Amino acid sequence: MTTKIGVSGDIGSFSEETGLNYIKKSQLKDAKLVHLIDMDGVMSALDAGNIDIGIFPVVNNNSGLVWPAFEAMGKYSFKIIDEMHLDIEQCIFAKKLMPLREITAIYSYTPAFDQCKIFLNTEVSGIPQVLWEDMAKAARDLANDKLPENTAVIGSRRSAATYGLTVLLSNIQDVKPNVTMFVVVTKEGA
């Protein structure tokens, strides 16, 4: 039987990478990732029995608690079965190579902005920051022309590669290592 693992991110997200690491660590032979974009989506799918395991971030050594995770966890019964740690390398990427001064807006998710405050306040100060539901979804939307042409996204190198985007700068996070702890959960009583 296939183990369905819900992750709080789109294809190319840090949650997806953590999910793949969990599959390898647990030596699951028949597992499938389900991309549920946000933590509430993961917890809701777990509660409904649509997935067997959920994985999402809860805390980062730089930006602190991932509040949407705690809001979602407060709504459902669940059991934590494992934790995973991932060193997060934030990158800024766009559809094409361009100087940072040509970026008209930067899209990402709150934790990414929180982890890159120094970069945002010095290298791209004054460029509007637009919150998106998931950084990998922002990458997908940029690649699919759903965001303006000179938009940039802050996120993973993996998401840039997945959607054929160009990394303008890497390692833009404020601290190194930039470790996020993810929890692995199952339904209460499972």
**Range 124-141 average pLDDT:** 96
Q: What is the mean pLDDT of the chain?
A: 96
So what's the pLDDT on residue 189? 76
Specify whether 79 is located in the same domain as 115.
no
Continuous segment of H or E residues that includes residue 120: helix 117-122
Report pTM: 0.94
Distance, CA of 105 to CA of 96 (rounded, Å):
14
Compute the average pLDDT of residues 54-58.
Answer: 97
Q: Indicate whether 72 and 97 sit together in one domain.
A: no
Q: How many domains does the chain have?
A: 2
Same domain, 75 and 135: no
Q: Which of 2, 7, 42, 45 is nearest to 156 (CA)?
A: 7
Higher-confidence residue of 68 and 139: namely: 139
29: domain CATH number? 3.40.190.10
My answer on whether 11 and 46 are in the same domain is yes
The model's confidence at residue 188, banded by pLDDT at 50, 70 and 90, is confident
Domain boundaries, position 148: 91-170
Per-residue confidence at 123, pLDDT binned at 50, 70, 90? Answer: very high
Residue 16: band (very low, low, confident or very high) from pLDDT cuts 50, 70, 90: very high
Query: Do 26 and 61 lie in a common domain?
Result: yes
